[in-house]
Amino acid sequence: MSNDRHVPVMLQRCLDMLAPALERPGAVVVDCTLGLGGHSEALLKRFPEARLVALDRDKEALRLSGERLAPYGERATLVHAVYDELPEVLDRLGLATVDGVLFDLGVSSMQLDEADRGFAYAQDAPLDMRMDQTTGIGAAEVLNTYAPGELVRILRAYGEEKQAKRIVSAIVREREKEPFSNSARLVELIRDSLPQAAKRTGGNPAKRTFQALRIEVNRELDSVEKAIPAAVKAIGVGGRVVVLSYQSLEDRIVKQVFAAGAATTAPPGLPIVPEKYQPRLKLLTRGAELPTEEEVAENRRAAPARLRGAERIREDVL
């Protein structure tokens, strides 16, 4: 597999947003979503004094990125971990605080491009979708064993699928005849079960169901809900957290965590706001920044990306 086919999403903006925190001597940056190592390699190049800690739950990604980042020697530490394990990883490495944290959420390009992983609905593959193939249950088991009501909840909550009931009815009917194992059968079933109007908008009609299954299999939103506050806690004053998200559910969590950190927690009506109630974060974006046409042309997977950043401006005061 070639690494040079992969252009990291909104790379220059991520680097520029992290720069004030990483141009300090001895800076430490954490890439919480290593993937093929595009962002990590760029961080090591742009900030030659910085040390990188990079996390990924996918052992194949760690192997490939390990080869790519080998020239940087001890400046790069690669760890097999889910990003919500950030506090434990930093503790093991003896790092009380770090200067920058980058998240590139969602499924990696490598996982989408490897047909046998079952992430992509455009090609037939085993319905797996696990980012870490050494643990947990795959998408086929979710489809074949979950109660109908639970499947409807997942499709609605994680895929924002308006036709969830209709799709789940078809899944339940079909799995009784034969358990699901491959993606093509599921794609065809979704296509056949949707009304014409629903098929005319929003790209491939299977997209939302596949997203929902992937999020459920990998417990992605649970991880994001733990990881973003953990990253905010991990950075010292002047440190920055930068997050790329690709769907509204992830972006909403990031927005809420950053907004809470940037707000005063003082009871209303105080004439002077004491230190302990002052905001801990400064927002680095007005809302979420979107990719430019050039960035989408460079990497079509950038199209749904939303970029947010925050800087720590004061310590937590107990």
**4 annotated ligand binder:** no
Q: How far is CA 2 from CA 65, 121, 203, in A?
A: 11, 23, 28
**104 annotated ligand binder:** yes
Please, what's the b/e burial string for 184-212 (b: 16 or more CB within 10 A of its CB; e: otherwise)?
A: eebbebbeebbeeebeeeeeebbbbbbbb
**38 annotated ligand binder:** yes
Q: Which helix (H) or strand (E) holds 211?
A: helix 207-218
Longest dimension (CA), the chain: 69
CA distance 305 to 203: 16
**163 annotated ligand binder:** no
**56 annotated ligand binder:** yes
CB 12 within 8 A of CB 38: no
CB 246 within 8 A of CB 106: yes
* Residue reference for tokens 């990719």: 291
Q: Record the tokens describing residue 38, joined without a space.
A: 């595009």
Virtual torsion, Cα 36, 38, 41, 44, nearest 10 deg:
-130
Which amino acids are annotated as binding site, given as ranges? 37-39, 56, 83, 104, 111
Which amino acids are annotated as binding site for S-adenosyl-L-methionine, given as ranges? 37-39, 56, 83, 104, 111
